[in-house]
Homo-oligomer: A and B are copies of this chain.
Amino acid sequence: MIDQLIDSIEKLQNPTVVGLDPRLGFIPGHIKEEAFDHHGKTLKGASKAFYQFNREIIDEIKDIVPAVKPQVAMYEQYGYEGIKAYMDTIEYAKDRGLIVIGDVKRGDIASTAKAYSDGHIGLADVEGEKIEVFKEDFITLSPYLGYDSIEPYVTDLNQRNKGLFILVKTSNPNSKEIQNLTVEGELLYERVAKLLKTWGEAAMGDLGYSRMGAVVGATHPEDAKRVRGILPNTFFLVPGYGAQGATAEDLIPNFNKGGKGAIINSSRGIIAAYKNEKYQKDFDSRDFAKAARAAALDMKKDLQRVMD
């Protein structure tokens, strides 16, 4: 799937992934009213509102971006109803040709990691019946537990053509507390990057990149430069652009030459664009998905400026 992601970015000339991280505060009144009229102000009502919101966004962006990244926490907060909306969103996006990165940041070991792999990117086995459950193309994982929290995914990566993005250097302010500690003459995230380089060799795609990618934030360009130096053949999923403060210029160290090797996430900057002053004059809340499209096109232009 890493090869398809690279192809799709190339075809669309757009290394953007749209973060589908809805909050009720982002959902236009008419969608909430319909959901709450049918289901009440319940977990199901909120989940149905998310799904309707996502569908309209997906329909407007599916021809201009290669991928979407639903953040599972936003759905999981509403329990199994929310998880159903997460799963329905993945299916809807895939049916419309989008690549789906499930931002789940799971991290567990052995049979537990295997259960996550089976459910998210593999096949669950119900007494011999093999069932595809969540259906993400990629998921994100945390590395704190070491390789026995990664290895159980390798079979699904290779046999089912799936992908991972493993947290190396995250975009949040406190990421330095642990990730930037000095370990044996280098920073911890550099050590994690070196481990990932070795781990990733077990799952190489055909276009020179591993199926095990890295999450490397845009908010710390110096750190990104070091990680890119260690991991030339690793694809980066890059959070932090836009609402979290990173500019297009900050992204430069995350890319390989010619703007290759990375996909940049924007969540609320796109999905909640209709609430942004810049788009409010042209789009009202009923046109929220068209505003998202306009914001995604503006982002594409902004990225292309720095990709050469």
Chain A residues proximal to chain B, CB less than 8 Å = 21, 23-24, 32, 36, 41-43, 45-46, 71, 73-74, 76-84, 87, 105-113, 115-116, 118-119, 124-129, 131, 133-134, 142-149, 167, 170, 172-179, 181-184, 188, 191-192, 195
Which of B83, B87, B178 contacts A191, CB < 8 Å? B178
Sampled A-B contacts (28; CB under 8 Å):
A41-B127, A73-B106, A73-B116, A73-B119, A74-B115, A76-B83, A76-B119, A77-B115, A77-B133, A79-B84, A79-B87, A79-B119, A79-B134, A80-B80, A80-B83, A105-B107, A105-B108, A107-B144, A110-B172, A144-B167, A144-B178, A146-B179, A147-B174, A148-B172, A149-B172, A177-B195, A178-B192, A183-B183
Compute how far the CA of A173 lies from the CA of B87 in the bound complex, rounded to whole angstroms. Answer: 33
Residues of B within 8 A of A77 (CB): 115-116, 118-119, 124, 133
Which B residues are CB-close (under 8 A) to A110?
Answer: 172
Contact A148 B127 (CB under 8 A): no
Enumerate chain B residues within 8 angstroms of A87, measured Cβ to Cβ. Answer: 79-80
Q: How far is the CB of A110 from chain B (nearest CB, A)?
A: 7
Bound Cα distance A11, B169 (Å)? 45
Known interface pairs A43-B124, A131-B43; A107-B173 also in contact (CB < 8 Å)? no
With A41-B127, A73-B116, A116-B73 as known contacts, state yes or no: A143 contacts B79, CB within 8 Å.
no
Do B126 and A45 have beta carbons less than 8 Å apart? yes
Nearest-CB distance from A84 to chain B (Å)?
4
Q: With A116-B76, A177-B146 given, is the CB distance from A170 to B127 under 8 Å? A: no
Residues of chain B within 8 A of A148, CB atoms compared: 172-174
| Given A42-B131, A145-B167, 16 extra CB contacts under 8 A | A21-B111, A41-B126, A43-B126, A43-B131, A46-B124, A46-B126, A73-B113, A73-B116, A77-B118, A80-B83, A107-B107, A109-B170, A146-B172, A146-B177, A147-B174, A178-B188
